[in-house]
Amino acid sequence: MPEISKKGHNMPQSPIRKLVPYAEEATKKGKKVYYLNIGQPDIKTPTIAMNAIKSSSLDILAYSRSEGSEEYRKKIVKYYLHNNIDLTHNDIIVTTGGSEALLFAFGSIMDEGDEIIIPEPFYANYNGFSTSSGINVVPVISKIENNFALPPIEEFEKLITPNTKAILICNPGNPTGYLYSKEEIKKLASIVKEHDLFLIADEVYREFVYDGIEHYSILQESGLEEHAIVVDSVSKRYSMCGARIGYLVSKNRDVIKTALKFAQARLSPPTLAQIASEAALDTPQSYFDDVITEYVKRRNILTSELEKIEGVTVAKPNGAFYCIAELPVKNSDDFARWLLQSFDYNNNTVMVAPAAGFYSTPGVGQNQIRIAYVLNEESLRTAVKILAEALKVYKD
């Protein structure tokens, strides 16, 4: 039989999706499953975006330009300007989700065997994208005890080798909800300048920041123009995960020129979804105000209810809509599977994402889970209650 590639063997399963068959099995048995595992918001997509699809008068669903429609990119420029970021449409390539922007960024700046430093825990698919790009993740560990703050700069510097090409941060962070301060961004900026590295910031959750703290983008940092690459997406911002639209942003002309070649190879980002995403840019501020109020309420309920459970530690997120919780279990992978296969509370159970897959250091995060607070208040309270009841009876 012909053999599949080493790369294929090494591709990790997504910790967010790998337990889906068990959840489906539980549902077939008549259990209700509360999904805390995946960042699919239950928030409605702005009407203005949905209406743009409904009223489209296209009679051919044609390819768009590889870098995305010019009209759309010009409107994105206005969005960034509103966020104190000065760009031109030539600094933007529209991609098939932030996922493709990450792949284009990796492909444009790194070769097989190159290294990228990423504070962990990190968005699990960074592991998958690194494997498929043939590059090595070098983790720098941020700890739950410190609420996942950036480790001291010396920790980064210790990890830099001749193969290091970039540092990647997620701001605000998935899975930690950590929001980097302006000072932290400035420190990272000084390291990448000193060691001539790229700084990639995944800012897909930029709009979701709480407690009156302002998001500081690497694109606002002057002197970083040649180093900064931003990954962005409409998926969470407008609850448009299925649109599959994101963008790669950089003022570095070589990065854009190179990423465009990757973009040309895959021809075009989705045409209809660009029309919807362009319309979404007119979403009124009141939509975001309501969404933020809702997420803050959910975050507060989730963290305070989790803290009431004996043996559970939770980091307080300042952004995005995830948190990491440490549980009194040895192996959260086994626990998450057991919840679906063998446990119910009044015929209800929960699905969580085991956190080990959000680390690249073997053995770390084994007793942690990631929770996405994408359910309404009542469901969230029920889900945490189920978790508390499960922990009372679970035996490792």
Ligand X SMILES: Cc1ncc(COP(=O)(O)O)c(C=O)c1O
Task: By CB under 6 A, tell whether 107 contacts ligand X.
Answer: no
Task: By CB under 6 A, tell whether 97 contacts ligand X.
Answer: yes
Contacts with ligand X by CB under 6 A: the residue count is: 13
Whichever of 202 and 333 has its CB closer to ligand X, that residue is: 202
Task: By CB under 6 A, tell whether 355 contacts ligand X.
Answer: no
Find the binder of ligand X among 39, 119, 128, 139 (CB under 6 A). Answer: 39
What HEC string does the chain produce?
Answer: CCCCCHHHHHCCCCCCCCCHHHHHHHHHCCCEEEECCCCCCCCCCCHHHHHHHHCCCCCCCCCCCCCCCHHHHHHHHHHHHHCCCCCCHHHEEEECHHHHHHHHHHHHHCCCCCEEEEEECCCCHHHHHHHHHCCEEEEEECCHHHCCCCCCHHHHHHHCCCCEEEEEEECCCCCCCCCCCHHHHHHHHHHHHHHCCEEEEECCCCCCECCCCCCCCHHHCCCCCCCEEEEEECCCCCCCHHHCCEEEECCCHHHHHHHHHHHHHCCCCCHHHHHHHHHHCCCCHHHHHHHHHHHHHHHHHHHHHHHCCCCCEECCCCECCEEEEECCCCCHHHHHHHHHHCCCECCEEEECEEHHHHCCCCCCCCCEEEEECCCCHHHHHHHHHHHHHHHHHCCC
Whichever of 204 and 380 has its CB closer to ligand X, that residue is: 204
Find the binder of ligand X among 43, 141, 241, 388 (CB under 6 A). Answer: 241
Task: By CB under 6 A, tell whether 99 contacts ligand X.
Answer: yes
Find the binder of ligand X among 170, 256, 259, 263 (CB under 6 A). Answer: 170
Residue number of the CB atom closest to ligand X: 97
Find the binder of ligand X among 46, 98, 128, 365 (CB under 6 A). Answer: 98
Whichever of 130 and 235 has its CB closer to ligand X, that residue is: 235
Task: By CB under 6 A, tell whether 233 contacts ligand X.
Answer: yes
Whichever of 268 and 348 has its CB closer to ligand X, that residue is: 268
Say which residue the tokens 């010009």 belong to: 74
Task: By CB under 6 A, tell whether 43 contacts ligand X.
Answer: no
CB of 79 to ligand X, least distance (A): 16
Pick the piece of the chain touching ligand X (CB under 6 A) from 75-83, 138-146, 233-241, 381-389.
Answer: 233-241
Cα four-point dihedral sign 214, 84, 286, 322: negative
Find the binder of ligand X among 133, 142, 174, 368 (CB under 6 A). Answer: 174
Helix (H), strand (E) at residue 383: helix 377-393
Whichever of 37 and 233 has its CB closer to ligand X, that residue is: 233
CB of 378 to ligand X, least distance (A): 24
Find the binder of ligand X among 204, 209, 263, 306 (CB under 6 A). Answer: 204
Whichever of 233 and 268 has its CB closer to ligand X, that residue is: 233
CB of 59 to ligand X, least distance (A): 29
CB of 246 to ligand X, least distance (A): 4
Task: By CB under 6 A, tell whether 176 contacts ligand X.
Answer: no
Interface residues toward ligand X, by CB under 6 A: 39, 97-99, 123, 170, 174, 202, 204, 233, 235, 241, 246
